[in-house]
Amino acid sequence: MTPEEFRQALANQGIQLTDHQMNQFAQYYQDLVATNQVVNLTRITDEKDVYLKHFYDSITGSFALPALRTESLSLCDIGAGAGFPSLPLKIAFPQLKVTIVDSLNKRINFLQELVARLNLDNVTLVHSRAEDFSKKGSAHRENYDVVTARAVARLSVLSELCLPAAKVGGIFLAYKAQAAADELTSATRAIAKLGGQKRNVYSLELPTKPEPEERNLLIIDKLTATPQQYPRRAGTPAKKPL
């Protein structure tokens, strides 16, 4: 997907990017590739692949959750890595208030420099383990309208890392590939225990070649407060999923 194909694909979804926004994405790509030579940010570095599999894929969250396009929502991205999906969403929809959480300081440093270069406001960067970020007593606990995660862990684990940060009445938006249905089935108990309930699964295909790649966006509503003992201490959710 070339930059112009990226712009047109979003226009087909009713998302019109300005020249300024396109320049921001171009700068994002340049900085990503340059920094990736010294810090492991992504295995995807070809321009067409970055625009499709990182930038476009990140923005598909707004296909499933149209409120991201127009409302001044607080969005928390857990384990964002090189800023996906939160920064492409922020560039496309500047009214969003974004908090990015990652456990590796080198990635946070890259994002700090990128956010400054792109002149993005209302972006907060937090160096933290996900389990510590939203634990009992944290100012971040149950504080966000939308919590996102992309390619971080299985849903049964991810729910414990993300749902505690979502406010009651908020949403956990999980980006998943083909195995979404199986993951959702195995995570149903954990989601309920953490105060969540599945609302919808939005399915689409990325126009990859030679075959399209399946993507699934899982929308989970936060109905009740997460019990105080969750998330458990760092490492436990992955070792002993709920």
Q: Is the pLDDT of residue 6 over 80?
A: yes
Q: Is the pLDDT of residue 175 over 90?
A: yes
For the chain, how far is it from start to end, CA to CA, in angstroms?
A: 39
Phi and psi torsions of 212, nearest 5° = -65, 150
Known binding site for S-adenosyl-L-methionine: residues?
A: 79, 84, 130-131, 150
Residues 148-161 have pLDDT tens digits of 999 778 899 999 99
| Integer Cα distance of 181 and 144 in angstroms | 26
Tokens of 46: 């070809």
Phi and psi torsions of 31, nearest 5° = -70, -40
> pTM, whole model, 2 decimals?
0.94
Q: Is the pLDDT of residue 210 over 90?
A: no
Known binding site: residues?
A: 79, 84, 130-131, 150
Per-residue pLDDT band for 181 (boundaries 50, 70, 90) equals confident
Percent of the chain clearing pLDDT 90 (strictly above):
87
pLDDT for residue 145: 98
Domains (range + CATH), the chain: 3-239 (3.40.50.150)
Q: Is the pLDDT of residue 182 over 90?
A: no
